[in-house]
Structure 1
């Protein structure tokens, strides 16, 4: 078995395992975003989920640039992720001119951040679509059919896991869980900024070291973020990993 096949198998196991005690939605979604970049010919990934009223929220991203692009989509009500969620089908365009025809403002923003391609895969189970996975590339063009199949399979497995985990709770708890996840996401963004400024880190590195600390100490990511914000977790307690380089370069 090759290293890619091993990573793919490990990814599907991780995405299917949502029945563990103290399941962490935010970390789960970040796993999907990061593994999408590692396994597919994509340079960044982001995930949006819908709340109980159909409103979309940015929930995870592999890099700060992906998060900014998804926020831009929401602010301007334009982009592949939104179209994907609304249609429940994969969304892509052949090239930049075709993208600009469909999403002019989004495409300009995409290029300003160094990307030249974006497409989205639905997070769905049968007729129910709960969100979308956005894939960004530094080079133009769509993903291959093989990569699209793998990406959709990962999104589908993650969706089944999320819906299965939700089904365990009562309907009132479902709304509470999503609201808690949304609040945790806001808190996480604040903590990234606080740690980045305090320790002189890149915003992506700040997230990486918080996540590494949470995992190595068997802590919830949201709890670590809260301690970073209120100052009860000293910077020296958070392990410093290697500083990440610039945005990924196109694969050759």
Structure 2
């Protein structure tokens, strides 16, 4: 972040930088889980929100969680999927933006989801569909600890970031053949499962919480210029020892 700039110019500079970094991942081969985790982090950095998460549809049309900015959001997103209730599910099903400025007033609309969201400390949510040419493949979900709507500018930025991720997943070469699209989306979902397993291994080995374990996994992959999903697979399959990953994280912290 360039702190020497005025706040408005600094935010614009940060947005351009985020767009460039996201666009860089779309050239040739790219790691879908990393793109989506990066998008969640960009949303928290650039928008006036506390947390972000992303869901993708699998080949059966069911939603699956693929990225979240923190552990609380991950739990809440999984709860929505399990109960098939909530703003993120509605946004995916309808293909429109769902805005809830005050969750305490949404008890009747989502009687199961709303108490859980409030218990997690969230007071407002904005869900943005990930869509291209009428096809909705998931939703980008923004949670806030404070009640209130996003500004028109922030809503536009959220839509732009969601579009970048959607285009990355549905590149022209993947939308020409539905088989390729299905394989790529399913690969992203399978990678998410492997990453969760790897997080569990690291958490147990290092006495970490799940968020700390994820950061250790990500740091190790980046230090080796490797895909996070490949590093996770190496951990789960036993080709990579947890202590090697944790040692890298400790070295970086020194």
Q: TM-score, normalised by structure 1?
A: 0.88
Deviations 1:75-131 (A, max 9, x none): 111000111111111101232333222112111111111211122011112322211
1:9 alignment counterpart = 16
Q: Does 1:91 align with 2:98?
A: yes
User: Are residue 110 (structure 1) and residue 105 (structure 2) matched?
Assistant: no
Partner of 2:61: 54
Distance in 1, Cα, partners of 2:25 & 2:57: 19
Report the CA distance between 1:169 and its aligned residue: 6.9
TM-score by length of structure 2 reads 0.88
Could you tell me whether the CA contact under 8 Å between 2:104 and 2:123 is conserved in 1?
no
Tell me how far apart the structure 1 counterparts of residues 173 and 48 of structure 2 sit (CA, whole Å): 31
Number of corresponding residues: 243
| In structure 2, C-alpha distance between the alignment counterparts of 1:233 and 1:29, rounded to whole Å | 24
Task: Determine which of 141, 163, 172 is the counterpart of 1:156.
Answer: 163
CA deviation after TM superposition for structure 1 residue 192, in Å = 0.6
3-state DSSP of counterpart to 1:175: helix
Q: Is the contact between residue 216 and residue 249 of structure 2 (CA under 8 Å) also seen in structure 1?
A: yes
Which of 227, 240, 243 aligns to 2:249? It is 240
Which secondary structure state, in structure 1, belongs to the residue aligned with residue 219 of structure 2?
Answer: helix
Whether the aligned pair in 1 keeps the contact of 2:59 and 2:186 (CA below 8 Å) is no
Residue number among 97, 122, 132 corresponding to 2:129 in the alignment: 122
Q: How far 1:19 sits from its partner (Å)? A: 4.1
| Cα deviation 1:12-60 (Å, max 9, x = unaligned) | 1233345434310110111111111111111111101112332111111
CA–CA separation in structure 2 for the residues paired with 1:115 and 1:226: 33
Give ranges in structure 2 of 5+ residues lacking alignment: none
Q: Quote the Cα distance in structure 2 between the aligned partners of 1:88 and 1:166.
A: 24
State the Cα deviation string for residues 221-242 of structure 1 (Å, max 9, x = none). 1111122223432334322269
Matches within 5 A, 1:34-73: 34-73=41-80
Partner SS state of residue 121, structure 1: strand
Aligned counterparts of 2:217 and 2:134: Cα–Cα separation in 1: 37
- Which residue does the alignment assign to 1:172? 179
Q: Distance in 1 between matches of 2:29 and 2:135?
A: 25
Moved more, 230-239 or 129-138: 230-239
Q: In the alignment, is the contact (CA less than 8 A) between 1:18 and 1:162 conserved in 2? A: no
Instruction: Decide which of 124, 135, 139 is 2:146's aligned counterpart.
Output: 139
CA RMSD in angstroms comes to 2.1
Structure 1 residue 166, shift from structure 2 partner: 5.2
Task: Report how far residue 165 of structure 1 moved.
Answer: 5.7
Contact 2:127 2:139 in 1 (8 A): yes
Deviant stretches of 4+, over 6 Å = none
